[in-house]
Structure 1
Amino acid sequence: MNSIERALAILLLLTGGRLVSAATLAERFEVSLRTIYRDVDRLIALGIPVEAERGAEGGYRLAKDYLQPPVALNRRETAALLTTLALVRSLRTLPLKSDLDSAERKLIASLPRPVLALLGDAERVIGIEPIPADIFHAATRAEPTEDWQAALDGFMVGLLESRAVRFDHHNPARPAPRPHDVEPHGVLFDRDLWYLAGRDRDSGEMKIYRADRIRNVEVSGFRFRPDPAFRIADLLGGAWLSQAMRRWEQEGPSSRIRMSREQASRLTQDWYYRHASLVADGPDHMIFSLPSVLPSQILPLVRWLGPDAELLEPAELRAQMALDLQEMARRHGA
């Protein structure tokens, strides 16, 4: 019997809960007391809580309640735990990191084969975006609601079961919600919001949806084959937002603002506006284009940029900007 087999046998003998002396173990395995001491030290080094009591009646035993009955987790419960682990890992530091790594490895090792193929590499489908600088744009906070939770849960069910989901997406820039039929591929957490990544079944495009803007989510009976090449990490670092900006530019009207290069440089530090379009306008100025004509977004941005910024389009917002500046000048005694 080698040392590994003997250590395992000692562990089995100690599972009864009673004290077993080193002399008894040495006699049982026909080795020296020194060898038994080394075997017990090996078990302790592996994280097994072996307790020792001194004295004539002393010996070894396992810590009480060390061996727990197996816990059977279903696919959704496992995904929920792995998502939580990914969220915790986004922190710069966290307590007991090595224990967290060990717990995750054990959790993944316990998965049945069909689920292991999907969740064995959790980072492929679950991404957590580190919080970047936010110098101006702060309109991403949303209070959790039942609709938000239902959207996230429904999307995850579709992802885990490889079934398409249907839902209505509410875009504040559009007058009415639009129905979508999507094959879920991953979820992403960014600036206190969950985003859902899926392939639109009508256009075939990979799109990102804010979970808090989804209503009436329904997991359909249509099954699809997950794309093995998809990785949520490819959408991190704002890549998903750059792709969305280019699509939004084609789908609807945009605002155009002329500004100095210094102002443009400041604006590109913002996590959101850095992904908008910027083109040169002479040696000292840039034209900034944003696929939005919401007064609540555009007018405060122009005021924040300052006197060297000029709102070029749309015309109705330009007129509103002029009225706002006249009122501000009046209030400030100009």
Structure 2
Amino acid sequence: MGTTERVLALLGLLQQRRVWTGPELAERLGVTTRTVRRDVERLRVLGYPVNAGQGVGGGYQLGAGQALPPLLFDDEEAIATAVALLAGAESGDAALRALTKLDRVLPSRLRHEVRALAESVSSFGGGRPAIDSEALMTLARACRDSVLVRFVYAGRGVGGRGVSDDGGTEREVEPYRLVASDRRWYLLAFDLGRDDWRTFRVDRMSEISEKSWRFRPREAPDAAEFVQESVSSRVYRYQARFLVRARAETIRALIPASAAVVRARTDTTCEVLSGAADLDFILMHMVLLGHDFEVLDPPELRGRCAVLADRLRAAAASA
């Protein structure tokens, strides 16, 4: 092991544990304690504050405020790495820790880009899908800097406060937050043309451009909650609410986050908000959960329960 490689290995060890004794480091690196002392001095010359304690409990410790060496990435690779961390990480905490480490070693010209991505993203559900990194970075910067964004949106012709109320239209919005679901990326924004909050699927956005006009941020809804309700219920013809006699954690494990919003009511009950184009479709899914439930909204759904119950009783009687 050459000197440079050994010094980097020493730095890695010091970052893994709070305190190392000289003999412990010497054993791990396969050198003498004298060589360890020399390598520690090399780290100090490079700007790493390595503290040395004496006596029982003493040892080498990497001090706070150390300047980490730059990554050997070009700009595009560094940004792509940040995007991949958010797009592929199953754990939000793990992604945040990795992004924090990446942020510390990035050149200053890129640090703001990564921070924009990290600070402008919320999530609900599980894993994060891959998406065009340039689109994400453009939207993340706009969220961070509070600048207007213009784009062409290919919607599904759904009205209300859902994903879109027409297709292939040019939109100008105040962007507030990127949200990653278990299936897609969304943008929470205030649509200036519709004078209301909207949820936009990023994969349906094209010709995305930041404007020079800054806006004064208005009071915004909770991004993850708003988007989850949008994609699970608001875009559908019918929105239904149920009181389920089971713990919220139990029901969340049975329903994808993009299909319903589950809110705890008590320790043993929860509320489920979901949507569909057909009321019977919603009912069948609730029945298949395997837990007792009560219809809260809409009132006509109770009538469909009776119809479905009669149908099932007739089927059972004919068996």
Return the TM-score normalized by structure 1: 0.49
Give the superposed CA RMSD.
5.6
Check 1:177–1:300 CA distance in 2 against 1; reply closer, same or farther (3 A cut): farther
Instruction: Show the counterpart of 2:104.
Output: 105
Q: Partner letter of residue 82 of structure 2?
A: L
Instruction: Show the counterpart of 2:18.
Output: none
Match of 2:150 among 156, 160, 164: 164
Instruction: Show the counterpart of 1:199.
Output: 190
Q: Would you say the 8 A contact 1:302–1:309 is kept in 2?
A: no
Instruction: Show the counterpart of 1:181.
Output: 172
Secondary structure of residue in 2 paired with 1:191: coil
Displacement of 1:35 in angstroms is 9.4
* CA shift digits 1:158-184 (9 cap, x unpaired): 444654223022277899744443343
Q: Partner letter of residue 156 of structure 2?
A: H
Q: Would you say the 8 A contact 1:167–1:181 is kept in 2?
A: no
Check 1:273–1:229 CA distance in 2 against 1; reply closer, same or farther (3 A cut): closer
Instruction: Show the counterpart of 1:127.
Output: 122
Structure having the higher Rg? 1
Displacement of 1:331 in angstroms is 2.9
Check 1:68–1:122 CA distance in 2 against 1; reply closer, same or farther (3 A cut): closer
Displacement of 1:208 in angstroms is 2.9
Return the TM-score normalized by structure 2: 0.51
Q: Would you say the 8 A contact 1:82–1:104 is kept in 2?
A: no
Instruction: Show the counterpart of 1:218.
Output: 207
Q: Would you say the 8 A contact 2:121–2:177 is kept in 1?
A: yes
Instruction: Show the counterpart of 1:273.
Output: 261
Instruction: Show the counterpart of 2:74.
Output: 72
Structure 2: runs of 5+ lacking an equivalent: 8-32, 49-68
Displacement of 1:193 in angstroms is 2.9
CA distance in 2, matches of 1:321, 1:69: 61
Secondary structure of residue in 2 paired with 1:219: strand
Higher relative contact order (CA 8 A, sep 6+): 1
Secondary structure of residue in 1 paired with 2:37: helix
Check 1:130–1:103 CA distance in 2 against 1; reply closer, same or farther (3 A cut): same
- Identity across the alignment (%): 14
Secondary structure of residue in 1 paired with 2:185: strand
Check 1:220–1:310 CA distance in 2 against 1; reply closer, same or farther (3 A cut): closer
Q: Would you say the 8 A contact 2:151–2:206 is kept in 1?
A: yes
Structure 1: runs of 5+ lacking an equivalent: 1-9, 15-33, 49-66, 132-140, 279-284
Question: May I ask how many residue pairs the two structures share in their alignment?
Answer: 246
CA distance in 1, matches of 2:306, 2:195: 43
CA distance in 2, matches of 1:91, 1:69: 24
Instruction: Show the counterpart of 1:43.
Output: 42
Q: Partner letter of residue 122 of structure 2?
A: G
